[in-house]
Amino acid sequence: MAICLRLSLMILVCLVFVGPCWAEGALSLRAGYQILQPSGDISGSGSTIDTSLDIEDDLDWDDSRDMLGELSLDWGRSQLSFSYLPIEFSGRSLMEIDGYYNGQSFSAGDHVSSDVKFDLYDLGYTFYLIDMKEVPTPFRLGVEFAIKLADIEIEFTDEAAGIHENDSVVAPLPTLGMRTCIALTEHVALTGRAGYIEYDENHLFDGNVQLEYLPIKNGGLFAGYRYFDLAVDESDVDVNLEFAGPYAGIMIHF
């Protein structure tokens, strides 16, 4: 049932990272699949007693493999987009150090399991300052303001130490960035997007570059590479994560 609900959500919101250079007044729907590899560290809270745990060396997290989706509307020099991006990393490992998680002690030799679920909701508006269509190589470059809502849940379990922690935080992250699109040929476009925000102990950089192929007017394929750099220090959650990887999918334009 959960899989069916997620697939339904993906179909409803379908992905578009950047609209095609030559589209005007276009509604775009896209759906894709991504693989993200994590790096960084987490701790139970910002307390100095808690141990910073390396995602690769201490927790042995697997890659995140999931669908992604977004809806985009282009009109004139403006573009409005909404996307939903689910990300989940988990792993089981044998601890090699003594330490603390949320003030509770664990020991070297303990078997621990950990899981991070990260749902990113992204609403963005772009105004294209440069919008050259009637040239041999159409080109667009715009400024984007986006509101990214990061819903993060972290689970950490150490049966031997009696630790069963489940902490969560919802962090609204407004970002300022750029979008660009270059039509390489009549059917091929190169697009890019980047946004950044930093305040207090939190920051987020989110960027991607993408190649689009539209063999027909109303549809085609896309493939790209995405990079995140996220730091959130709120409540009982302290995470410093980087994750990056490829994605690909199909698109429909109306």
pLDDT (0 to 100) of residue 152 = 87
Residue 234 has pLDDT above 80, yes or no: no
Lowest mean pLDDT among 91-95, 141-145, 167-171, 174-178: 167-171
pLDDT (0 to 100) of residue 186 = 87
pLDDT (0 to 100) of residue 47 = 57
pLDDT (0 to 100) of residue 10 = 41
Q: For 37, phi and psi rounded to 5 degrees?
A: -105, 130
Select the more confidently predicted residue: 170 or 3.
170
With CA atoms as reference, report the closest residue to 89 among 53, 65, 57. Answer: 65
pLDDT (0 to 100) of residue 236 = 66
pLDDT (0 to 100) of residue 21 = 54
> Quick one: which H or E segment has residue 12?
helix 2-13
Dihedral sign computed on CA atoms, order 13, 15, 21, 22: negative
Residues 6 or more apart from 186 whose CB is under 8 A from it? none
CB 147 within 8 A of CB 172: yes
pLDDT tens digits along 4-55: 444 444 433 333 333 455 555 589 999 999 999 999 998 876 555 678 889 9
Q: How far is 76 from 68, CA to CA, in rounded Å?
A: 27
CB 203 within 8 A of CB 240: no
Q: How far is 86 from 151, CA to CA, in rounded Å?
A: 10
Burial 147-166 (b: 16+ CB within 10 A, else e): ebebebbbebbbeeeebebe
pLDDT tens digits along 100-151: 887 788 989 999 999 999 899 999 999 999 999 878 888 999 999 999 998 9
CB 78 within 8 A of CB 144: no
DSSP 137: S
pTM: 0.84
Q: How far is 246 from 252, CA to CA, in rounded Å?
A: 20
pLDDT (0 to 100) of residue 167 = 83
**Three-class DSSP category at 9:** helix
Dihedral sign computed on CA atoms, order 46, 50, 52, 53: negative
Domains delineated in the chain: 2-253 (2.40.128.90)
- The structure tokens 């109306």 sit at 254
Percent of the chain scoring above 70 in pLDDT: 87
